[in-house]
């Protein structure tokens, strides 16, 4: 699949939410760090999951895959220098760089797409202050040495993934450690997901007023882990329900710590009818109104929320969104371009978007920007446009949701590969 043409329609029906990419990354890393056999399921065959599994394999962990189940045996870590290809996965790089340092591995990190452009210096600076030598100012770069404990000082508003990476790594050290945050933590729910995964694996972390205390010498506990449904990717279908259908999604935990569970309240804020019962969330369209959205805790939802706003009446402002410029694409530019290309009106500012909703979009052509969330947002928009939409580079969905277009079909959507 390269380019697709998606036709207007009115999707309806029920899907099971795909497994959470964020939860799966964390569960796989905890299983790899445990001594003994572990089983994680379901794990998608997305390229991000392949990146994490590939890096863990290069580090010495033997896995067996049976469909969507991944089993770990708890193998020794390698002793020779290794090359770790993180592909385009920021989570893989930022989580496993501190882990490799804590294990004392000599490693060279590779990346693809926009990953080499995404900031990592805040994390590597802290590693160099604690026993690690880093060679190279950008990717590829190499590390040597063994991480030592102590105080790690980071801003909380750069990337929660830096903090999560250290939370995985520091329990492995013999010394105690502390993470101190110099600014308030953004995307806090992602750190909560890490803390939950660590607790499931028997790792104890203590919160402080400005960070975390981590005891050294802890052991990860093996076991079986079921990966919960993904609010981030389910949001595309829920927003389809907001715009103009009736969509039900199974497999989403109402008490999940995923930050993107906020999609439920945002759907209601737009004006849609939302109900939840027996583990199923159903969204039904109603007349929609523009709203204000703080992007800081939910950056991954911004593309599909912006598209939804184009079908509302009135202005929607999405603010605190500067970090979206350093994702798989410059998402503020990409999503505003998407809306304008389809006949809508969007204004782009350094850290926010204003979408002037007029109740509909015309159709046209969209560059997917090699960004899975831009492609999926364009496909949802296409279902409600007056004319078909051509999406260039639709294969980008493989990064997180390889079954996306098949699920679109299951809800009655039509598309052609061109």
Q: How far apart are the C-alpha atoms of 124 and 133, rounded to whole Å?
A: 9
Number of H helices, E strands in the chain: 12, 24
Q: How far apart are the C-alpha atoms of 393 and 308, rounded to whole Å?
A: 22
| Residue 300: active-site member | yes
Burial of 406 (C-beta count, 10 Å sphere; 0-12/13-18/19+): exposed
Burial of 131 (C-beta count, 10 Å sphere; 0-12/13-18/19+): middle
Tokens of 106: 């000599």
Bridge partners of residue 211, in order along the sequence: 180, 208
**Backbone φ/ψ region at 217: left (φ over 0), alpha (ψ -120 to 50), beta:** left
From residue 183, alpha-carbon distances to 75, 147, 159, 186 in Å are 39, 24, 12, 9
Number of C-beta neighbours around residue 251 at 10 A: 18
Instruction: Name the helix (H) or strand (E) containing 188.
Output: helix 188-200
Q: List, edge to edge, every strand of the sheet that includes 4-7.
A: 364-367, 389-392, 4-7, 414-417
CB 176 within 8 A of CB 149: yes
Catalytic residue, from 48, 230, 260, 300: name it. 300
- DSSP code for 382: H
Contacts of 143 (CB under 8 A, 6+ apart): 97, 100, 101, 105, 106, 107, 109, 127, 132, 133, 134, 135
Active site positions, annotated: 300
């Amino acid at each position: 699949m390269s380019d697709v043409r998606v036709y207007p329609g009115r999707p309806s029906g029920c899907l099971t939410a795909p497994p959470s990419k964020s939860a799966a990354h964390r569960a796989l890393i905890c299983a790899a760090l445990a001594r003994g056999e572990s089983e994680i399921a379901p794990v998608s065959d997305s390229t991000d999951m392949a990146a994490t599994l590939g890096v863990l394999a290069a580090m010495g962990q033997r896995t067996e895959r049976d469909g969507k189940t991944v089993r770990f045996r708890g193998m020794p870590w390698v002793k020779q220098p290794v090359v770790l290809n993180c592909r385009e996965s920021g989570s893989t790089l930022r989580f496993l760089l501190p882990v490799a340092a804590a294990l004392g591995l000599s490693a060279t990190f590779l990346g693809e797409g926009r990953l080499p452009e995404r900031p990592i210096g805040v994390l590597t600076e802290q590693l160099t202050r604690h026993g690690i030598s880093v060679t190279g100012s950008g990717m590829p770069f190499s590390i040597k040495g063994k991480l030592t404990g102590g105080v790690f000082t980071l801003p909380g508003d750069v990337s929660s993934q830096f903090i999560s990476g250290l939370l995985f790594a520091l329990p492995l050290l013999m010394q105690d450690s502390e993470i101190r945050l110099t600014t308030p933590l953004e995307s806090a729910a992602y750190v909560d997901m890490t803390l939950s995964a660590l607790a499931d694996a028997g790792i104890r972390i203590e919160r402080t007023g400005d960070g975390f205390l981590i005891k050294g010498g802890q052991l990860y506990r093996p076991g079986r882990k079921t990966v919960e449904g993904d609010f981030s990717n389910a949001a595309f279908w829920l927003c389809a329900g907001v715009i103009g259908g009736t969509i039900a999604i199974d497999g989403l935990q109402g008490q999940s710590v995923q930050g993107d569970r906020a999609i439920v309240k945002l759907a209601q804020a737009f004006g849609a009818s939302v109900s939840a019962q027996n583990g199923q969330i159903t969204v039904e369209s109603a007349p929609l109104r523009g709203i204000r959205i703080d992007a800081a805790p939910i950056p991954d939802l911004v593309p599909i929320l912006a598209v939804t706003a184009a079908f509302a009446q009135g202005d929607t402002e999405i603010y605190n969104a500067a970090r979206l410029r350093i994702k798989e694409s410059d998402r503020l530019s990409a999503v505003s371009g998407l809306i304008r290309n389809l006949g809508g009106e969007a204004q782009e500012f350094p850290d926010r978007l204003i979408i002037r909703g007029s109740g509909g979009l015309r159709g046209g052509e969209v560059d997917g920007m090699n960004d899975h969330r831009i492609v999926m947002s364009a496909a949802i928009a296409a279902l409600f446009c007056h004319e078909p939409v051509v999406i260039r580079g639709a294969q980008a969905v493989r990064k997180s949701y390889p079954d996306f277009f098949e699920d679109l079909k299951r809800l009655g959507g039509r598309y052609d590969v061109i």
